């Protein structure tokens, strides 16, 4: 006698009893999943996976995301038909960081992989997706924040989704239209959205400090901005957004020019009215929730104008959603002396000017120059730097629809000619290297 037969005999089990005990969830026809976000939950072993397998057999239009076949490729290569489209898709789901763009899928964290699943579905134009073990292996704080982003983007993209997990702690964040709780007897309890008690998540914006900025500084792709020294030279304000006591986002507003230059009438006029957005950083676990928009639009900053320049904004102009208007940056203007300077640099270095962003490459180039070549490059570079400085001054007047007086202009020209007659070559090079930037301005009315 086998051990199975022995157990059957000991406990008096019959075929009928065994068959009756092997229940799998059977849903009634009035359970509809289309145009909804559905959350299926219950203890491990109640048949959640069996249920969704049966659903897929009945309706093969449901898409089940899989690990990418080329999971060793950076995720920027896995979605979209272009860099621009890929950045747009990844940013929507909270994968909005330069270093993450170039990270292979297999090296993403579990939370990032969950975000990528949604990006992949959006990329494939799938409008019905099923995800088993949704966020099961993710720490619960990250799970809650990913869930918030996930449900928001599913609804924005009009994706019907069935999420399956034994965890019930993310139901509030998911805001599901329907919850199905399964039990071990093949029964289920259906809970509609209006039966679920929701607590709105409130994040608090407040005045911040350099120390609080420092908690998040390394999450920015450019690394640390020398804000401590900057705060001594510039009028600077920090704001932070918190989840209880945890700093989850920060923004830095700084006057465009150092306080020491306020003796110049034009610069004093600019600094009085404009705050420049020096940094906006959101903790990776909280990205995709619209927190950067809250910081960009905070009513706590009182300057009449806020000016921002963004590389990411070139692809995803989130500022426009916060009430900003686009500006015509000096960076994007076709300025002849800049072209001449770049041509000169590239001819001498045999490199593209963008390669000189690297400190070591730039140092080697400068060391290779003769005194005569250095003098020539310094002359053209200084001319470019002065031109840029004056164009920036004009820009700050233009975005305010304000005219600069002749006296102001003459004073600033005289200052620039005297102060920037011999600008260090590396400084001139760094200001000439092109970036894809979009400019934005917000007017406090």
Hey, which residues does 440 pair with through a beta bridge? 308, 326
Residue-level pLDDT at 231:
66
Residue-level pLDDT at 24:
62
Residue-level pLDDT at 352:
96
316 has a pLDDT exceeding 90: no
Sketch the domain layout of the chain as residue ranges.
25-195, 204-303, 332-443
Sign of CA dihedral 63, 64, 69, 75: positive
- In eight-state DSSP terms, residue 405 is P
CATH entry, 204-303, from 3.30.420.40, 3.40.50.620, 3.90.1660.10, 3.40.630.30: 3.40.630.30
Cα–Cα distance for residue pair 282/216, rounded to 1 Å: 8
CB–CB of 311/436 below 8 Å? yes
Task: Mean pLDDT check: name the lowest of 181-195, 298-312, 426-440.
Answer: 181-195
Q: With bands split at pLDDT 50, 70 and 90, how would you rate the model's confidence at 349?
A: very high
How far apart, in Å, do the first and last CA atoms of the chain sit?
Answer: 87
Among residues 119, 423, 443, 403, the alpha carbon closest in space to that of 266 is found at 403
Mean pLDDT score across all residues of the chain: 90
Cα–Cα distance for residue pair 121/64, rounded to 1 Å: 9
Residue-level pLDDT at 348:
95
Task: Mean pLDDT check: name the lowest of 4-8, 70-74, 328-332, 348-352.
Answer: 4-8
Percentage of the chain modeled with pLDDT above 90: 61
Residue 104 has which token pair?
């292979």
Pairing of strands 160-164, 128-131: parallel
Among residues 284, 70, 45, 383, the alpha carbon closest in space to that of 184 is found at 45
Sign of CA dihedral 403, 407, 412, 413: positive
Residue with tokens 């450019």: 222
Q: Do domains 25-195 and 204-303 have the same CATH topology?
A: no
Residues 6+ away with beta carbon under 8 Å from 270: 255, 256, 257, 393, 396, 397
Residue-level pLDDT at 42:
87
For 115-130, the pLDDT digits (tens) are: 998 899 889 999 999 9
Task: Mean pLDDT check: name the lowest of 84-88, 145-149, 273-277, 362-366.
Answer: 145-149
Among residues 398, 400, 392, the alpha carbon closest in space to that of 416 is found at 392
For 233-251, the pLDDT digits (tens) are: 999 999 999 998 899 999 9
Residues 6+ away with beta carbon under 8 Å from 1: 9
Residue-level pLDDT at 15:
79
Residue-level pLDDT at 247:
96
227 has a pLDDT exceeding 70: no
Q: With bands split at pLDDT 50, 70 and 90, how would you rate the model's confidence at 271?
A: very high
| CA-based max dimension of the chain | 107
Neighbours of 21 (CB within 10 A): 11
Residue 434 sits at the vertex; the CA angle it makes with 430 and 438, to the nearest 5 degrees, is: 120
228 has a pLDDT exceeding 60: no
Residue with tokens 């799938």: 126
* Top-level class of domain 25-195: alpha beta
71 has a pLDDT exceeding 60: yes
133 has a pLDDT exceeding 60: yes
Residue-level pLDDT at 8:
84
Residue-level pLDDT at 226:
56
CA distances from 311 to 98, 100, 191, 333, 421 (A): 10, 15, 44, 16, 30
CB–CB of 236/208 below 8 Å? no
Residue-level pLDDT at 424:
96
225 has a pLDDT exceeding 70: no
**Phi-psi sector, 321: left (phi>0), alpha (psi -120 to 50), beta:** alpha
Cα–Cα distance for residue pair 309/314, rounded to 1 Å: 9
Task: Mean pLDDT check: name the lowest of 43-47, 359-363, 386-390.
Answer: 43-47
Residue 137 has which token pair?
């292996």
């Amino acid at each position: 006698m086998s051990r199975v037969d022995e157990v059957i005999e000991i406990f008096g089990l019959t075929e009928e009893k065994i068959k009756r005990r092997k229940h799998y969830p059977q849903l009634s026809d009035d359970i509809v999943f289309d145009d909804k976000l559905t959350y299926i939950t219950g203890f491990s072993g109640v048949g959640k996976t069996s249920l969704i397998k049966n659903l897929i057999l009945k309706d093969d239009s449901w898409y089940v995301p899989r690990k990418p076949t080329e999971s060793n490729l950076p995720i920027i290569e896995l979605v979209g038909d272009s860099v621009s489209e890929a950045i747009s898709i990844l940013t929507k789901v909270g994968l909005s960081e330069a270093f993450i763009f170039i990270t292979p899928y297999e090296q993403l964290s579990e939370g990032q992989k969950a975000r990528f699943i949604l990006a992949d579905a959006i990329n494939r134009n799938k409008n019905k997706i099923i995800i088993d073990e949704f966020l099961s292996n993710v720490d619960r704080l990250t799970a809650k924040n990913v869930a918030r982003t996930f449900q928001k983007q599913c609804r924005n993209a009009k994706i019907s989704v069935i999420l399956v997990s034994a965890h019930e702690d993310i139901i509030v964040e998911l805001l599901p239209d329907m919850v199905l709780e399964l039990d071990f007897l093949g029964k289920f309890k259906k809970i509609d959205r209006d039966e679920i008690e929701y607590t709105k998540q409130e994040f608090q914006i407040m005045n911040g400090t350099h120390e609080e900025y420092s908690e998040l500084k390394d999450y920015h792709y450019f690394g640390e901005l020398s804000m401590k020294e900057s705060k001594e030279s510039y009028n600077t304000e920090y704001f932070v957004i918190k989840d209880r006591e945890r700093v989850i986002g920060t923004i830095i507003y700084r006057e465009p020019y150092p306080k020491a230059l306020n003796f110049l009438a034009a610069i004093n006029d600019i600094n009085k009215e404009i705050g420049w957005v020096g940094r906006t950083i959101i903790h990776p676990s909280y990205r995709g929730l619209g927190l950067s928009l809250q910081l960009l639009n905070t009513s706590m900053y009182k300057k009449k104008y806020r000016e921002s320049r963004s590389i990411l904004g070139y692809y995803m102009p989130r500022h426009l959603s916060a009430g900003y208007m686009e500006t015509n940056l000096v960076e994007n203007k076709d300025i002849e002396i800049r072209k001449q300077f770049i041509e000169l640099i590239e001819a001498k270095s045999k490199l593209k000017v963008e390669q000189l962003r690297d400190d070591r490459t730039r140092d080697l180039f400068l060391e290779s120059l003769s005194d005569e070549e250095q003098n020539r490059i310094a002359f053209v570079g200084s001319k470019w730097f002065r031109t840029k400085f004056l164009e920036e001054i004009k820009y700050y007047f233009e975005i305010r629809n304000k005219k600069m007086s002749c006296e102001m202009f003459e004073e600033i020209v005289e200052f620039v000619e005297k102060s920037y007659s011999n600008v260090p070559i590396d400084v001139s090079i760094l200001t000439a290297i092109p970036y894809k930037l979009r400019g934005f301005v917000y007017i406090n009315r």
